Structure 1
């Protein structure tokens, strides 16, 4: 995998083969960051990277100037690899070794962007639990976005707070946003 843009553009990162991961492809990552780039200033957002695996997405945010990035993964090898990589690049990543669902149940940490890349073989019920916990626990900042990566064979459009999806090859990103509860009063 490589960092696509920013301070560390072009740097290659090689994760140990033994890690239980499926990094986001460069093509899908580039498309995702083009969308994010049109909505946010990277140096003024906070990011929560769930099921962070190799840290691929977090490195991209850090390379583009994001200073507050938290990576959550339950695998010790993944957390160790992220810590080592972040240290070698001097990136401001914080890591938390935890089951993502338990973390979401207990945390009060808000983020502008919450990115989740769970295993593609999750059931729809497990996928649904991610936005449910994020929105029920008020973890998104105002104007924030939850992005869930999944297989093109999984449809998350029926979930609460779903906004839209984008497909890139076999990868799909579903975007979830806080629903505006504004009603116009007629006079």
Structure 2
């Protein structure tokens, strides 16, 4: 069972998706990842979108550590039910001072990004199924690029054997780290992609 590692909801256990189809990020990877994100000041008051969210562990960890809002997206019904249950810990069940803005969307990642009308994304998690092909990931990143804040951070989790993802123009990898069979890439908009 996943848990919140740090912040206002430290120790809170999250409901797991009742299926073997998801691949939760380990506590060791989460701890290292979020330490790095805090070092980049990527969490404070951030607008977070968690695509392929599963139980929402990455998005909810962000909220616990100071993010302003979370849009959790998954196309699997079991994941969406789990996301809604976990969202209650930060909404109706949380003390008023700890409540956060959370929306849960049952949608395909590409379609969601194509119809999204919220504020620019400041932190984007992409933890797709390892079976998602590079071409499909490229399409999702292309759609996401149009929604990103100029100082956004995109976190991509992949199987270590997959190698670096192909990125559309306007995005570049600024950090990568391997954790056993998992590889994390941090991506940001390039200066050339920023509005003038």
Instruction: State whether TM-score is above 0.5.
Output: yes
Aligned to 1:111: 121
TM normalised by structure 1 equals: 0.88
Task: Identify the match of residue 157 of structure 2 among 145, 149, 152.
Answer: 149
Per-residue CA deviation, residues 23-66 of structure 1 (Å, 9 max, x unaligned), is 11111111110111011263321101100011111110111122
Distance (whole Å) between structure 2 residues aligned to residue 88 and residue 94 of structure 1: 13
Per-residue CA deviation, residues 93-128 of structure 1 (Å, 9 max, x unaligned), is 211111111112222332101111100111111222
| 1:70-89 aligned within 5 A | 70-89=71-90
| 1:18-97 aligned within 5 A | 18=19, 20-40=21-41, 42-90=43-91, 91-92=99-100, 93-97=102-106
Change (3 A) 1:105 1:34: same
Change (3 A) 1:147 1:16: closer
Size of the aligned set, in residue pairs, is: 180
RMSD: 1.9
Distance (whole Å) between structure 2 residues aligned to residue 172 and residue 133 of structure 1: 22
Change (3 A) 1:103 1:89: closer
TM normalised by structure 2 equals: 0.84
Residue 87 of structure 1 deviates from its aligned partner by: 0.8
Contact kept? 1:112, 1:141, Cα under 8 Å? yes
Residue 16 of structure 1 deviates from its aligned partner by: 4.3
Distance (whole Å) between structure 1 residues aligned to residue 163 and residue 172 of structure 2: 11
For the pair 1:126 / 2:127, whether they are aligned, the reply is no
Aligned to 2:96: none
Distance (whole Å) between structure 1 residues aligned to residue 156 and residue 20 of structure 2: 21
Runs of at least 5 residues in structure 1 that lack an aligned partner in the other structure: 183-187
Aligned to 1:172: 183
Contact kept? 1:162, 1:174, Cα under 8 Å? no
Contact kept? 1:131, 1:146, Cα under 8 Å? no
Change (3 A) 1:177 1:43: closer
